């Protein structure tokens, strides 16, 4: 089987609760037929068809337990959405202020419910990634062999606090947990592109992820982009992106970089992280 295309950052179309400013942001990117789109893509069968039409083989589906800045999409919501499709990969989440023993929840999510990784949101939940209170979570993730993805960089959503999104904090985590795969969603967006790039070059267990970044701008944001091709992951941030997933992939595929780098970034690196079985269940 050829190297799969993997979108490493996808939200559910419908949340239990989304703040109005999040909905307004998405409507700007989907000005026509937004409500119909959200309703249609709440059906996992329809969403899998969208992925297939976009040329995507696997999609990582992430929850949000961020009641201050974004909204609520539970681990249970993600599990139900992904249950019947091997091409939909469920990531769980923990919010240290909403869960008394988050490391125990991580073990339950992985061992009992089949989650394949974690997505954490320091910027929306107000904790520094290298806070010692989070170390039991990282230790458990390292023990279980699952990756941990973090929001990094700025956010336009009301109530977010940018100071928690600095990639520098991952230097501590990468050193203290050398066998933990750490993924920086948005690659330090706006303030910290250089830091994200340099740190992922320094630490073999630290990856950049491209969600929310216009593919046409990548070589401007990261002038030495292909030097780090081994540790960059393609991602869309659907449904928050202005282009379709298909358009994002096409724009990325047209970048003047070697095909080998494109193949690694579009799915080769992610396939290794996720240990994917090439047999899909659509």
Query: CB under 8 Å to 141, separation ≥6 — which residues?
Result: 106, 118, 147, 148, 180
At residue 32, the pLDDT reads 87
Q: How far is CA 226 from the centre of its chain?
A: 21
Burial 105-140 (b: 16+ CB within 10 A, else e): bbeebbeeeebbbbbbbbbbbbbebbeeebeebbeb
- Convert the pLDDT of each residue in 83-126 to its tens digit: 999 999 999 999 999 999 999 999 999 999 999 999 999 999 99
Q: In whole angstroms, what is the distance from residue 70 CA to residue 125 CA? A: 10
pLDDT at position 280 over 60: no
Mean pLDDT of 165-175: 98
Q: How far apart are CA 131 and CA 223, in angstroms?
A: 32
Domain boundaries defined on the chain:
6-274
Q: What percent of the chain shows pLDDT beyond 90?
A: 93
Query: What tens digit of pLDDT does each residue of 134-156 get?
Result: 999 999 999 999 999 999 999 99
pLDDT score of 279 more than 60: no
Model confidence, pTM: 0.96
Return the pLDDT at 243: 84
Question: First-to-last CA distance in the chain?
Answer: 16
Structural fold of domain 6-274: TIM Barrel (3.20.20)
- Using alpha carbons, select from 71, 215, 226 the residue that is nearest to residue 155: 71
Categorize the per-residue pLDDT at 241 as very low, low, confident or very high, splitting at 50, 70 and 90: confident
- Dihedral angle computed from the Cα positions of residues 16, 18, 20 and 21, in that order, rounded to the nearest 10 degrees: -170
pLDDT interval class at 281 (50, 70, 90):
very low
């Amino acid at each position: 089987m050829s190297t799969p295309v993997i979108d490493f950052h996808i939200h559910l179309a419908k949340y239990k609760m989304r703040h109005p400013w999040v909905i307004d942001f998405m409507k700007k990117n989907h000005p026509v037929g937004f409500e119909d789109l959200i309703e249609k893509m709440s059906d996992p069968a329809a969403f899998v068809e969208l992925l297939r039409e976009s040329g995507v083989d696997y999609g990582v589906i992430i929850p949000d337990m961020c009641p201050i800045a974004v909204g609520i999409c539970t681990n249970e919501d993600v599990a139900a959405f992904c249950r019947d499709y091997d091409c939909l990969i469920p990531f769980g989440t923990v919010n240290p202020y909403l869960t008394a023993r988050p490391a125990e929840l991580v073990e339950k999510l992985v061992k009992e419910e089949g989650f394949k990784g974690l997505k954490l949101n320091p910027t929306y939940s107000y904790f520094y990634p290298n806070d010692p209170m989070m170390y039991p979570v990282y230790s458990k993730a390292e023990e279980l062999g699952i990756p941990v993805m973090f929001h990094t960089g700025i956010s336009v959503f009301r109530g977010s606090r940018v100071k928690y999104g600095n990639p520098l904090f991952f230097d501590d985590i990468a050193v203290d947990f050398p066998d933990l795969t750490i993924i920086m969603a948005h690659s330090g967006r706006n303030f910290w592109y250089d830091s994200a790039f340099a740190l992922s070059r320094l630490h073999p267990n630290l990856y950049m992820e491209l969600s929310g970044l216009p593919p046409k701008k990548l070589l401007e944001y990261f002038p030495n982009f292909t030097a780090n091709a081994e540790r960059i992951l393609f991602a869309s941030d659907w449904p928050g992106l202005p282009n379709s997933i298909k358009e994002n992939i096409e724009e990325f595929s047209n970048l003047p970089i070697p095909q080998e780098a494109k193949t690694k970034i579009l799915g080769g690196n992610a396939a290794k992280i996720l240990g994917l079985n090439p047999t899909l269940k659509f």
